[in-house]
Structure 1
């Protein structure tokens, strides 16, 4: 690990200014991902700006009937918050499906947005990786790629975004609030993360010097019909091979609204709103769900070891929609 300087501001403006004036600086809160990356020499910041003293640790109602999650609220405190559990149980389920209790007690909501991929080649500095070193190649393309993406890939990168929380946030249409040198702005969660394209080194659309201060949830939380299904190699402390955040509104047996977001299959949480629209007015039955699964995974490409994910994703979508509609038990 390289040497670095350390600061611990207690004001948002000072923290933002510190990052903007120190090239190579990084914010740190829980450190559950950044410290791992530093140990592996994947990240080499010359300055760490500890933001834990900033006033970003509350969960509060918004004027439009939604809920604002402070960036420094831990994943555990978010998942077990009474309002989140009651109004946004899909988000609570997704958070509790991730990592371990110890990590959830440290990891923050803001930090969760910035998780880097768990690609083997990204973490191994002896291997080529366009995300870590642009232009060096993608070792996963012709390597061992069982955990890698099947949707939205490019010849530069087939890594996946690892977060569970972000999949639920995508289904809920959350909005990320950031503060930077130019003031505050909001970023819809749909626009926060990027597909790799020819610049996989950029995971998101945040600008230099910006700090995430909160995540806003809209008033609609799909509290009655929902599920977060995570398929993985073991029952805990494992990243998703495929995950599905499914949320429905059902009236008299007919679907009136639908949200479906996938994790473990792309460089960002994957969602197609035009496919969700196909469910509107349809009966909440498995017969209605199969065409949706086919359409959501249309265009998927396997790279050998991960080709099984295509069929797995289709089955997961049908199963998750069945659980959300209460046609089968959630286990």
Structure 2
């Protein structure tokens, strides 16, 4: 692909980064693309691993749906560092694509779901009872994730951890937060305001997904999505979490903070999504427009 010199271009160019699973973008991102085009921006879908793409020819590359990066994370991170103008920034993506960042945030005193990390070569001793979630620290869309009831499913949980660590992956073990079954998970989406400051935009309720153990036959169930008004405690927790993003939240184009009530009812961080989250732009009037505005400001 031959770049066009900026001085001869009539419009700014934006790459909306995707993968071959969504060559024409995910639905939410199609709305975003159309809004950018209405502003005169040349917005187009580009696969992150497209060897013919000339990333230097874009005024901005916006990560949206590169959802096939998990088995190629090192390649993905190397690519991100090679893109001249990328949002969110490459160093943030590197930090955020390995869920060991949860341990860092917990160490900073934030309310994080209790997590035990099991590195390759380390022996894991399962808890004696309760419900537990096992998953790898590098994953997306609940891939390789299972829910286990102990002691009855202890062998399955041990086999899951052993399978991950034998493959050179770090496993993470968390208590299953039962509040997700009724209350659900609150995903708070933050976008820049008119001044460029990252601020709360909208939220959704995500229903429970995990129905059983990851034993090769039981897969994550379907997930229901509904608009939600977050509680003041959820808003406050999200704000606290975002202050600990490397380099500060002002560097971000978007963020999604996923919370579930803990045993005492206070919100606990499940995941901080800064890499390729669904932003549920169609669940809130004007959300796609707000993100379009933020991209235009960055241009």
TM (norm. structure 2) is: 0.27
More strand, by proportion: 2
TM (norm. structure 1) is: 0.25
